[in-house]
Amino acid sequence: MKPLSFTLGSGDGGARTATLTTPHGDVATPAFMPVGTRATVRAVGVDDLAAVGATMLLANTYHLMLRPGAAVIDAVGGVQRFMGWDGPVLTDSGGFQVFSLDPRIDEDGVTFRSTYDGSVVRMTPESSVATQEAIGADIAMVFDHLVGLPAPRPVVAEAMERTLRWSARARAVHRREDQALFGIVQGGTDAELRADSARRTAALDFPGFGIGGLSVGESPEERNLALEVVAAELPPDRPRYVMGLGDTAGVLDAVARGFDLFDCVWPTRLARHGKALTTRGDFSIRRAEFTTDTSPLDPDCSCFTCRHHSRAYLRHLRITDELLGHRLLSIHNLAYTMAVLTGARRAIAAGGFAAYRKAVLERRVPSPDREGLR
């Protein structure tokens, strides 16, 4: 079985549409992947995800390796059957935990402490691949070394070189024929390092590429320059995935530069804190002015939450910390994010992406009479 194909569609400036075909279905790109770290997107079910237009999910190798264990997922038939989701899944390699958990790093791999019980956990490029093969995702990622920004150039360069060495090791041991393994470009915001990493990662002939090491402290201008450098070096006929990017402006910036896939916990994490993402700007539903407000979160949204519930009710759920509030706000925020990408695909196909992007961003800037909603 061919693990992946990528068919380019329309182009508009640097932006492009395509169809990513996997063993579990097609994904129209540019596309956003909700994050299901532990084989679940927090507070929402797979029916909710389908309803908001999600076609592909992300799960995390490090967490699933620890709970319930890759062998358990393999025994029940893979991650899709395990979680009841019949669409494509991409697994992060565990590389983000190299950044977030401050483990001990050596040339062979990384030694963590389990976030669950404190036990010692070892992960190498080879074991990360083996774990992802057992989990059974459609797309697996190489194990990479990610550093926060800003960082000294020698630190960024060392992590980039290590990622390249680990990428070659991962490529050498990957065997699952119904799974694609993506390489990861590192290099921080240094244009020379980014270009070097992209060229050398492309030379390893991966079927797709993740862009790592962004959304970790850099400015939008630095991120955009890094993306432009990378886009110039990667083969245009393969998918490009900006890892960890999910805010509206950032995603549209990346789409404009020819990137295809995105993921972030942003929509659901903000929802759990009571913040709504809308076409007219973002705001906290906890604000007192919503106490008797019978309007929907976003009058331009047709999601389940906006069709059935008022701001007054959603505020009540958040103030009382009812679990239903987490679900309803998460549904809306995911629907909003999916709609941004759906609109982008349509605009690219029509040759109007620049105007679409400008209109989306200008509408989200709060006018003085809406400032109190933020």
Q: Which residues are catalytic?
A: 92, 263
Q: Considering all CA atoms of the chain, what is the largest pairwise distance in Å, rounded to the nearest integer?
A: 61
Partners of 8 in the beta sheet? 18
Please check whether residue 210 is in contact with residue 182, taking contact to mean a CB–CB distance below 8 angstroms.
yes
Q: Cα 104 to chain center, whole Å? A: 26
Q: Which H/E stretch holds residue 140?
A: strand 139-141
Nearest to 91 by CA among 139, 36, 32: 139
Phi, psi of 59 (to 5 degrees): -130, 160
Distance CA 244, CA 62 (A): 16
Quick one: angle between helices 191-203 and 153-173, nearest 10? 10
Query: Hey, is 240 helix, strand or coil?
Result: strand
Q: Would you call the peptide bond into 30 cis, given omega within 30 degrees of 0 as the criterion?
A: yes
Q: What is the DSSP letter of 36?
A: -
Q: Cα 285 to chain center, whole Å? A: 25
Please check whether residue 130 is in contact with residue 198, taking contact to mean a CB–CB distance below 8 angstroms.
no
As a whole number of Å, the CA-based R_g of the chain is 20
Please check whether residue 349 is in contact with residue 17, taking contact to mean a CB–CB distance below 8 angstroms.
yes
Question: Strand order of the sheet with strand 57-60?
Answer: 31-34, 261-264, 240-242, 209-211, 180-185, 139-141, 89-92, 57-60
146 CB contacts (<8 Å, ≥6 apart)? Answer: 95, 96, 98, 99, 159, 186, 212, 213, 216
